[in-house]
Amino acid sequence: MKKLGNRGLRSVVSTLEEEGELISIKDFVNPELEITEITDRISKKVDGGKAILFENTGTDFPVLVNALGSEKRIALAFGRNSIYDLEQEIESLFAVLLQPKDNLWDKLKLLPKLKEVSEWMPRKLNRKGKCQEVRMENPDLSLLPILKC
């Protein structure tokens, strides 16, 4: 199973699309009441519904909702087939870590496991994110699609 992208929102949307977990709405949907109503209806389905990408919000910004709204999409975020696979991994990791280590060799055997755990952590690539590359002297929050319900 492909892991939900960690290279930005476009990667996440692409992965959700490939996995059949995304509804993409290209028509205009008003952020005031409409997006939240559609999201409420879809996300309350037994299986958590699908993630929804509203491409036309009347602003320059699309809106992605319910991206982690099901067990399948949560598992996908961690690159697993099931959230229970992740649960098993974490339990086995703690079992190994909590066992007493008799010597240096036993401790060194843990290094691959510790490397695996470190890969779960977010990476800090630089001090400023891409979102900070564009700066506005007089920011205008009305440019954002502010959802209302």
Q: Does residue 63 contact residue 145 with C-beta atoms inside 8 Å? A: yes
Q: Residues 73, 103: one domain?
A: no
Tell me, yes or no, whether 53 lies in a domain. yes
104 inside domain: yes
Q: What is the extent of the structural domain holding 111?
A: 83-120
Residue 96 shares a structural domain with residue 41: no
Same domain, 42 and 91: no
Tell me the pTM: 0.72
Q: Output the pLDDT for position 126.
A: 66
Q: What is the pLDDT of residue 110?
A: 79
Kindly state whether residues 77 and 95 are assigned to the same domain: no
Same domain, 58 and 104: no
Among candidate residues 31, 50, 81, the one where a domain is terminated: 81
Task: State the DSSP code for 80.
Answer: -
Same structural domain for residues 99 and 33?
no
Q: What is the pLDDT of residue 41?
A: 95
Q: Show which of 81, 109, 133 is a domain's final residue.
A: 81
- DSSP code of residue 143: G
Phi, psi at 66, each rounded to 5°:
65, 25
pLDDT at 68: 92
Instruction: Per-residue pLDDT tens, the chain, 149 aa: give them.
Output: 555 555 677 888 888 999 999 999 999 999 999 999 999 999 999 889 999 999 999 999 999 999 999 999 988 887 788 889 888 888 888 887 777 878 888 778 778 877 777 776 666 666 676 777 778 888 888 889 999 98
The DSSP secondary-structure symbol of 116 reads H
Question: Structurally, how many domains does the chain consist of?
Answer: 2
Residues 95 and 41 in one domain: no
Q: Return the closest-CA partner of residue 10 out of 62, 56, 72.
A: 62
- In this structure, are strands 51-56 and 63-65 parallel, antiparallel, or unpaired? antiparallel
Alpha helix positions (H), 1-149: 9-18, 34-43, 71-77, 83-98, 104-108, 111-118
- Same domain (yes/no): 2, 71: yes
Cα–Cα distances in angstroms (integers) from residue 14 to residues 7, 11, 19, 66, in the given order: 11, 5, 9, 15
